[in-house]
Structure 1
Amino acid sequence: MATSVLLEREDELLVLRRTIQAAKDDAKGATILVEGSAGVGKTRLLKEAREVAHALGLQVLAAYSSELEQEFAFGIVRQLLEPVVGETDSQQRADWFSGAAETAEAVLGSGFASHPAGGDYAVLHGLYWLVSNVASDSPVALVIDDLQWADPPSLRFLAYLVHRLEDLPIVVIAATRPWLSDDNNRLLDMISTDQATVHLRPYPLSLEATNFLVDGTFTKEGTEADEDFVVACHDATAGNPLLLHQLLQVVQHEGIEPVGKNASKVLDLGPQAISRYVSSRLRELSQSSERLAESIAILGDGVQVAVAAEHANIPLNEALRSVQDLSRVNILAGVAAKQVDPARVRISFVHPLVRAAIYGRLSPHTLMLAHGRAVQVLMASGAETERLGVHVLQTLPSGDSDVVRILRKAADEALHRGSPDIAYSYLRRCLAEPPPSDQRLEVLIQIGRCAQLLNLSGSVEPLREAIELSKDPVQRAIISSQLAGALQFLNQIPEALKVQKVGLLEAHDEDVRRYLAAGMLANLPFDPGHKDLISYADELEQLEFREGFGAGALESMLAMVRSWQGNPVGLDHARRAMLNEQLSTMNGEIFLTLGVWQPLLAGDCEEVFPLLDEAISRSHRTGSVRALAPATDHRGLGRLRQGYLADAEADLNVGKRVIEAANIQIGRPFNGSFRADLYMSQGRLDDAQEALQWSRISGTNDPGAAYFVLLSRARLLRLKKQFNPALATAFQAGRRFSAHSGSNPAMVPWKSEAALCLMALNRLEEARQYAEDEVDDARRWGASRALGRALRVAGLAIGNCENGINLLMESVSVLAKSPARLEYAISMIKVGTALYHQGKVREAQEYLRRGVELADACGAAPLVKNGTFALKETGARPRRINLKGPGSLTPSEIRVAELAAAGAINREIAQSLFVTVKTVEVHLTSVYKKLGISSRAEIAGKLIPTS
């Protein structure tokens, strides 16, 4: 069988060997995905890869997936890592789990950690550093078979890892069958579509190879196969090596001669070759062997002989003989002849298709009974509760209190490991059992919390029932708020408001009432036109300031409302909310995002960046994937507005991957529009178009953040010189923003965008009106970035007269005092161009030079090109741009430089900033160049103190 699989696999073997060699010699990580139908030879290629990796001295960590264990939290990760962690000494283990890797302890068996993992993102980050630490001792090959059946938490980790392999001596080699590209398989899609993933797709065997194998089979018997018979074998199996091997076994076993007249028999046998082979061989063996095979199919590959024997209800000695018999007829994989304790030998089928053939022979009723018995047998053997839960999921509800206990404990263990999705599956099944009446409320609440991290629609009905069951007014109010939050994100705003109003009527605790009131205001971004909520905000603003989570949430929502309206009092509310530490620790992402980060960013407030840094850090330490996305996206937006385009791109790319991994649909409009604006500033219009398509906003009946996408779409259309569609889209963005009571140009500058489109259409009077209106709005808000932009557009709309020049000069003056470097560069180039047309050449050249230098520092290639062209028109020769000194460092470079100056090594810096070691190396190289130094020892003397 091995020879047949390796036929015509020379190209695949060459890629495997080269990739593994590169991981060893060059610390060049990679992912290889071996894709193909069952039986095409993927497993044999993985076996060859393991042997090559072993021979080259790599640590080989292997795992295989099965359909049965998809609900086993981090099952694949544990198969990969538990053996190597368990076999090492305590000192080595302590080193591996040091620093950021600490959160990975909770994943790897009960013996490695006594504390919960925290949020799911903290677990992914910890596992990444654990694998990185293991690989620092010796290069690692992670080899995984049947990836399509991997449990979702393990897939999330692999999706996290493959994006960060570039600088690690790690090669991931996984085999998978084809899958549908839909939301259920988005994690496989993320792994598959990563730009560094290498795809191997072994083809079916050719007719020539089939002929070679058929001849080899019958030559031993002194018989030569007819050509028609060989063609029939090839057609019957479509060149699939495993099916061909099994077909030939059946042909031999049934005494079918390899002659042309038997071709039709072969064609009939082909599709059923494996099940026919398995059934015929089992009939030859004892009933004990058949029962044992069925028990192994139920319990899953890797089960101990003693456990399988107990499940099959046969004596151990008889089971050991059956193992040998089943191995002899190529149903079970062979096991070592000598074992210290034969009862603990782990047994598996030769191929998943063989297990599927045996499992498929059993009736649904028999399967349920068999899985029920598996629970009892595994419980008696001391198996983990989660492993028991896997089998409970295959049984029908029966009101069994033991089943409820198992499922609740399995859910707790899954949560302990940072796997809310697996916990959700157990809890849903627990609810169906059902639990005793005194436990039902707890189960419902826990289901609701898990679902809110995964699939908001799945939280609605459990939370509704929990409200009905709860007798505690405070608890009912809190559950009502959770339910309303889910309904908001599901765009069921009238229903959310109804739930909140009922909760508000029932709540007696003042802080809870403020929390519910804040939740009502939070409906504004999702559904326009609720003028009554604006009036309600006016009433709430009169309340006396207090401490507490509810009070902080209310301050943040008042900040949102006022900031959207362009009222600078919104910043006062945001700063009060910013001081409320409970917002950061009690799942307050929506309040932080809408009511703290967005207003402070719109106000050009530098204090927002430490808040965002801490939110990102908290997500890595203890937070969830859902908590990380808004923080990285808004830090990316902040850096974009400041003109640090490379830093912005790094953050927004992280946000994009997180949104995809966690399926956070509500995050797409924010991230998509922010990335589109970034790409447009870099001149990457095709990428901008793709980002806007990724946002999944059509412009009609979309959630509130659609106005961000619409404005970005208008800008893109204008840059593509499609001015009429651009203008219509800008107006659409304005209507949507206004419907949400928005008028602040620091958030959605739709009037200046419309003015630019109108100028392009030569509708100058209209352009001036919209531009001047935005200047008025921006002056009322008071932040320099928005005002500087509005003044610049107004100056351009008026033209190269004295009034126009004055507005452009005021724009430069305003932006010179702001952190908005890119807007400043644009305004300087526009002033320089206008001054040149007035004949003020020397003055124009100075503005143009400074603007081009700053645009280059920002990474805004189109602006550099335009400014350089304008400078050449003045007769000046552009000088070489070579920015130096501490002021040229980006925020990311400054953070790396400060840590390096304090004595941290690259790995420690990477763990502290949640980036790869390679990223740290790139930043340090840039720091050395900009500061004119050659070592980290010189950094401290060159840096400008930041505090």
Structure 2
Amino acid sequence: MELVERAEQEISLKQILMECGAGKGAVALLDGPGGSGKTELLHRAAEHARRCGGVVLRAGCSRAESALPYGVLGQLLYSVPAAEGPIGRLEELYRRLSAEAAAADTADGAATAAAAVPIGPERALLLNEVAAAFLELAESSLVFIGIDSIRHADPHSLDCLLYLVRRTGSARVMIVLTDDTVAQAGRSHFRTELLDQPHTRRVPLEPLTESQVAALLAGRLDQSDAERLAPEFHAVSGGSLLLLRALLDDHEAGGGVRTEGYGRAVLRQLGRLDEPVAAVARALTVLGSAEAPDRLARLAGVDHGVVESALRTLESVGLVDGLVLRHGIARQAILDDLPAPERTALRLAAAELLYEQGCPAQDIALLLTKVDAPSGDWSVDVLLEAAEQELLAGRTHRAVAALEAALRARAGSDVVHAAIESRLVQVRRLFDPATAEHHLTALTAAARSGDLDPAHTLDLVRQLLWQGRSAEAGELLDRLRETHLEPHSEVAALLEDTEKWLAWTHPTLARRTHRPAAGAEQRQHPGRPRTAPLRRPVAVLADALVNGRAHEAVDQAYQVLKDRGPTYDIAWPEEPALLALGVLLCTDSPDVTAWSDRLLQEGHTPYSPTWTGLLSATRAEAALRLGDLTAAVEHAHQALNHISPNAWGVAVGAPLGSLVLATVRMGHYDEAGAHLTRAVPKPMFDTRYGLHYLHARGQYHLATGHHHAALADFLACGDRMRAWGIDVPGIVPWRTSAAEAWLELGNREQAARLAYDQLGRPGTNGARARAAALRVLAVGGPVARRPQMLSEALDLYERCGDRYEQIRILADLGEAYHELGDNRRARTHIRRARHLVALCGAAPLSEGLLSFPDDPEDPSATPGAPAGDGALLTGSERRVAALAVGGYTNREIAAKLFITPSTVEQHLTRVYRKLGVRCRKDLPVELSTSVVEVVVGQEA
């Protein structure tokens, strides 16, 4: 490779050599940091001198030979073939000098390798003879003497070199030395005297500039690539030629900064430095920054002044930029080069030093998490504090690392160890519940032995239930129930809340006790302390859902959703909001989708894929209840993608059930069947989540003509719900679904019995449950009674905003009117249903509607609304009417058009009057032709 980056220095050396050939001796000191190209320049100068016919003598100094007297002089002499004359005389003088040095060391009792050696009369005469022999050699030919890394030369050779330098001003002798600008400790006398000679020239080699880096890269890369990469290469290397060449090799080997190239070059640079400088570098890799020089000095075991000098040296060789290492690979390479015990000891020493100086717990934990076994109670305290702070900052993985390190420390009692592991399980569950499972066995054993406190045991119960380990959870629950707890303690309140939550989600484990009436939480014992703000609502909302009183808890649900902030107790993070959304779902609240979307868009701290997955599952169920099948599939897929299906545990029944039901309603039966082939945990069927799965599977069987299998699934839902004491319509409508299966099997009596049973159930005052029962009774009853019941059911489904069920009712109404001979009304309802199908995406319903007979010549205008009367409506009235025909509720219309619900009612009243109709189901379907444009325009 051409030394384009050192062309100026190379030309200077050639010029000096020419002057030496004319009898003007010179000394060139190539002065620059390690890796700056000094050795390469020295080699090229020596080769040029050899081509010019000169005698070339070379030596390379090393730290290992710095204690060998006259070691450098010996290398110079042995670098040329043995010969008579001056060379032979030099060899003889070398042997005499070596013997003299050995004798002097023996007399002193110790060698003085690193110190200046006093020169006595005998040595002075010998050194003078050595210089004379070199000068005699220069009389016949040019003599080139090159010594690399002069800073490692032995003191005896340096004295000899100074004797020669003083006498070469008019001789054909060129001496080229390489040295470091920095790290001159112990050599100031030599450098001072050397540079004081009038024929000594210092040739500095500074780190390369960015333009010089670009020129270097252009020698091996395209010009455009060289210019593009030059800034990055310059920033990573600091202009060091050694590091630049390593980076270039890495780039050609595949790109990026690699350990094989750049990392090894870093170690080469470090190996050339003195031990105090290397110690500072190693300490810097552990501390990460040199912003506290005293801390760096203590960890490296050097004086404060040495740190400043070492940092200058490290910066000059391209390893440090200001107060930090230039690249993470440099840090990793230096650490990996240390033996494992030394690396661990260095990190522990750094952590203890930071702890003594009161540094933040997170900084100390970063060191402790990288050692196998942190020691001392103080380290556990630091790691636990750091874990909580990392959680608040949203760095969940760092919190996990801190808790795992605290576990490895094994400090404190078994109770402390169990508490730490319990906290670790809580944190792991936030982002991957499957990774928490392998801790559960140890925690269960700790709970059995009494090493886990009751609060943590209750949390363990929830983790076991998530994983389907209901037997172990039940055992621990029984132990807690038998434990004598302080009646008004926090643990007793938490146990009571858990019991009510179990009755809703895992009813097979719930204790069958008297459930307090709604509002009982307001009449709690005056001495009982208030529980955590997000635990008490769990019991209130779950109790309302279990007892079919969700409508009484709506205000509480809204309050929970409003109070939920970006941070929350990770021991029970998602249940309050999920139960609140469940209350809104069971009461057909139009706000459930808006709240779900708001919670999904919030920046939660800490971020939890588990929480996001559960929210997406709820959002999918909400979309199903609105007949938005596309959104239901999308959100169900998102739920299953946030965390792996295996990590879902028994809760997988919720998103999987919504996904199956949505794909069935869209007519994608093969896809739904594929989802049903997924393995699900058997304990899921003992939970509420299993009900959603069973109901969806039954709908799949019903849609594919397997009516007996469908009936079996629906009745299985009913058997479970009755046995568990949660037989309320808000979970799954098993009675009306089973009634539909009976109708398909031709048993209208059984279907009617189930429908009437649902109408008589407590909690069936909701619109959806009543509408479903009315439809079953209408379809299975006399045709003359169908329009009345179906019309009422349609009004109820319109109130819920469920477009899918509206389509079914409209299709039933069209068929009923057709059988009654009122084809005009039949066509009106069928056309309206066809329009809603386009918004809903329910292919099977669309096929049934297309098969319905239609007479295109027969006007479909509603009585009292001749064709063209739509022109009497104002723009605002037509937009409201179009959305009303599209199946939107008054509240949804108000939200889309940015007006109040009362304004919507006023517009509809005027529309009814102008068109001469009584209600929205009599609105002409032609008004809906612009509904899509209205919706898109408003949402845009």
- Report if aligned partners of 1:556, 1:577 keep a CA contact under 8 Å in 2: no
Match of 1:97 in 2: none
Matched, 1:790 2:770: no
- For structure 2, the 5+ residue unaligned runs are 2-216, 237-248, 862-866, 871-877, 900-929
Name 1:494's counterpart in structure 2: 474
Letter in 1 for 2:463: A
Whether 1:930 and 2:908 are equivalent positions in the alignment is: no
Aligned to 2:486: 507
Following superposition, the deviation at residue 538 of structure 1 comes to 6.1
Distance 1:670 1:289, change over 3 A: farther
- Listed as ranges, the matches of 1:23-62 within 5 Å are none
Q: Give distance in 2, aligned partners of 1:284 and 1:619.
A: 45
Amino acid in the other structure paired with 2:409: E
1:782 deviates by 2.0
Report how far residue 774 of structure 1 moved. Answer: 5.5
Answer yes or no: is the 8 Å Cα contact 1:673–1:691 preserved in 2. no
Counterpart residue number, 2:701: 717
Flag the 1:514–1:578 CA change in 2: closer, same or farther, 3 A: farther
Of 709-718 and 885-894, more deviation after overlay is shown by 885-894
2:850 aligns with 868
Given that residues 411 and 422 in structure 1 are in contact (C-alpha distance below 8 angstroms), is that contact kept between their aligned partners in structure 2? yes
CA distance in 2, matches of 1:824, 1:407: 58
Aligned AA for 2:826? Answer: A
Residue number in structure 1 paired with 2:496: 517
Change (3 A) 1:869 1:300: farther
For the pair 1:634 / 2:609, whether they are aligned, the reply is no
User: Equivalents in 2 of 1:733, 1:483: separation in Å?
Assistant: 28
TM-score (norm 2): 0.53
Pick aligned residue for 1:392 from 368, 372, 380: 368
**Distance in 2 between the 1:396 and 1:302 partners?**
20
**Helix, strand or coil at the partner of 2:852:** helix
Once the 2 structures are TM-superposed, how far is the Cα of residue 695 of structure 1 from its aligned partner? 8.5
Tell me: CA distance 1:573–1:481, structure 2 relative to 1, closer, same or farther (3 Å): farther
- Aligned partner of 1:329 in structure 2 is none
Indicate the residue corresponding to 2:70 in structure 1: none
Are 1:346 and 2:326 an aligned pair? Answer: yes
Given that residues 665 and 844 in structure 2 are in contact (C-alpha distance below 8 angstroms), is that contact kept between their aligned partners in structure 1? yes
CA distance in 2, matches of 1:553, 1:347: 47
CA distance in 2, matches of 1:481, 1:390: 31
In 2, Cα distance between equivalents of 1:518 and 1:729: 31
Question: Given that residues 653 and 684 in structure 2 are in contact (C-alpha distance below 8 angstroms), is that contact kept between their aligned partners in structure 1?
Answer: no
2:721 pairs, out of 737, 743, 753, with: 737
Structure 1 pair 401–389 and aligned structure 2 pair: CA distance change class (3 A): same
Of residues 584-593 and 378-387 in structure 1, the stretch that sits farther from structure 2 once superposed is: 378-387
The one-letter amino acid paired with 1:849 is: R
1:852 is aligned to 2:828: no
Q: Aligned residue for 2:816?
A: 834
Match of 1:429 in 2: 405
Q: Which amino acid counterpart does residue 503 of structure 2 have in structure 1?
A: L
Q: Decide whether the 8 Å contact of 1:303 with 1:346 is kept in 2.
A: no
- The one-letter code sitting in structure 2 at the alignment partner of 1:668 is V
RMSD value, Cα = 6.1
Cα offset, 1:599, TM superposition: 3.8
State the shift of 1:715 in Å: 1.4
TM alignment of 1:275-294, pairs within 5 A: none
Distance 1:284 1:516 in 2: 61
Q: What's the secondary structure of 1:522's corresponding residue? A: helix
Question: The residue matched to 2:832 in structure 1 has which SS?
Answer: helix
Q: CA deviation at 1:804?
A: 5.7
The CA distance in 2 between the partners of 1:721 and 1:741, in whole Å, is 31
Q: In structure 2, how many angstroms separate the alpha carbons of the residues matched to 1:698 and 1:467?
A: 25
Whichever of the two has the greater Rg, that structure is: 2
The answer to whether the 8 A contact 1:636-1:649 is kept is: yes
AA aligned to 1:715 is Q
Q: How much has 1:825 moved relative to structure 2?
A: 2.2
What displacement does 1:706 show? 1.0
1:553-564 alignment, distance < 5 Å: 557=539, 560=542, 563-564=545-546
Is 2:726 the partner of 1:750? Answer: no
Which amino acid in structure 1 is aligned with residue 466 of structure 2? F
2:802 to 788, 802, 820: 820
**Secondary structure of 2:726's partner?**
coil
The structural deviation recorded for 1:522 is: 1.9
User: How far is the alpha carbon of 1:775 from its aligned partner?
Assistant: 4.2
* Equivalent-residue separation in structure 1 for 2:322 and 2:795 (angstroms): 83
Q: CA deviation at 1:822?
A: 2.6
Amino acid at match of 1:811: A
3-state SS in 2 of match to 1:415:
helix
CA distance in 1, matches of 2:320, 2:339: 37
Report if aligned partners of 1:682, 1:861 keep a CA contact under 8 Å in 2: yes
Q: How does 1:358-757 map to 2 (within 5 A)?
A: 359=336, 364-373=340-349, 375=351, 385-397=361-373, 399-404=375-380, 406-435=382-411, 447=424, 450-451=427-428, 453=430, 455=433, 457=437, 458=439, 478-479=455-456, 481-491=458-468, 492=470, 493-502=473-482, 505-509=484-488, 513-529=492-508, 533-537=511-515, 545-546=523-524, 549=531, 557=539, 560=542, 563-564=545-546, 568-573=548-553, 575=555, 584=564, 587=569, 592=576, 595-606=579-590, 620=604, 625-645=609-629, 648=632, 652=636, 655-660=639-644, 663-665=647-649, 667-689=651-673, 696=680, 703-757=687-741
TM superposition score normalised by structure 1 = 0.53
Aligned to 1:843: 825
Q: Please state how far the C-alpha of 1:841 moved relative to its aligned partner.
A: 1.4
Q: How much has 1:687 moved relative to structure 2? A: 4.9
Q: Which residue is equivalent to 1:15?
A: none
Distance 1:813 1:866 in 2: 22
Question: Counterpart amino acid of 1:671?
Answer: P
Q: Is residue 559–residue 571 contact of structure 1 (8 Å, CA) maintained in 2?
A: no
Go from structure 1 to structure 2 and tell me whether the alpha carbon gap of 1:701 and 1:745 turns closer, same or farther (over 3 Å shift). closer
Residues 296, 307 of structure 2: 8 Å contact kept: no
C-alpha deviation, 1:832, in angstroms: 0.7
Contact 2:626–2:804 under 8 Å retained in 1? yes
Q: Within 5 Å, give how 1:180-191 maps onto structure 2.
A: none
Whole-Å separation in 2 of the counterparts to 1:499 and 1:342: 61
Letter in 1 for 2:774: L
Q: Partners in 2 of 1:832 and 1:744 — Cα distance?
A: 31
- For residues 423 and 488 of structure 1, the distance between their equivalents in structure 2, rounded to whole angstroms, comes to 24
Extract unaligned runs of 5+ from structure 1: 2-43, 65-216, 218-239, 247-272, 324-334, 900-925, 937-947
Letter in 2 for 1:536: H
Residue 778 and residue 402 in structure 1: after superposition, are their counterparts in 2 closer, same or farther (change >3 A)?
Answer: closer
**2:476, 2:846 → 1: CA distance?**
49
After TM superposition, give the deviation of residue 789 of structure 1 in Å: 2.0
Residue 390 of structure 1 deviates from its aligned partner by 3.3
Letter in 2 for 1:422: R
Q: Percent identity?
A: 16
User: Which residue identity does 1:712 align to in structure 2?
Assistant: A
1:343/1:373 CA distance change after superposition, 3 Å: same
* Native 8 Å contact 1:289 1:319 kept in 2: no
Residues 608 and 281 of structure 1, relative CA distance in 2, 3 Å threshold: closer
Distance in 2 between residues matched to 1:606 and 1:696, nearest whole Å:
32
Shift in alpha-carbon separation, 1:281–1:857, aligned structure 2, 3 A: closer
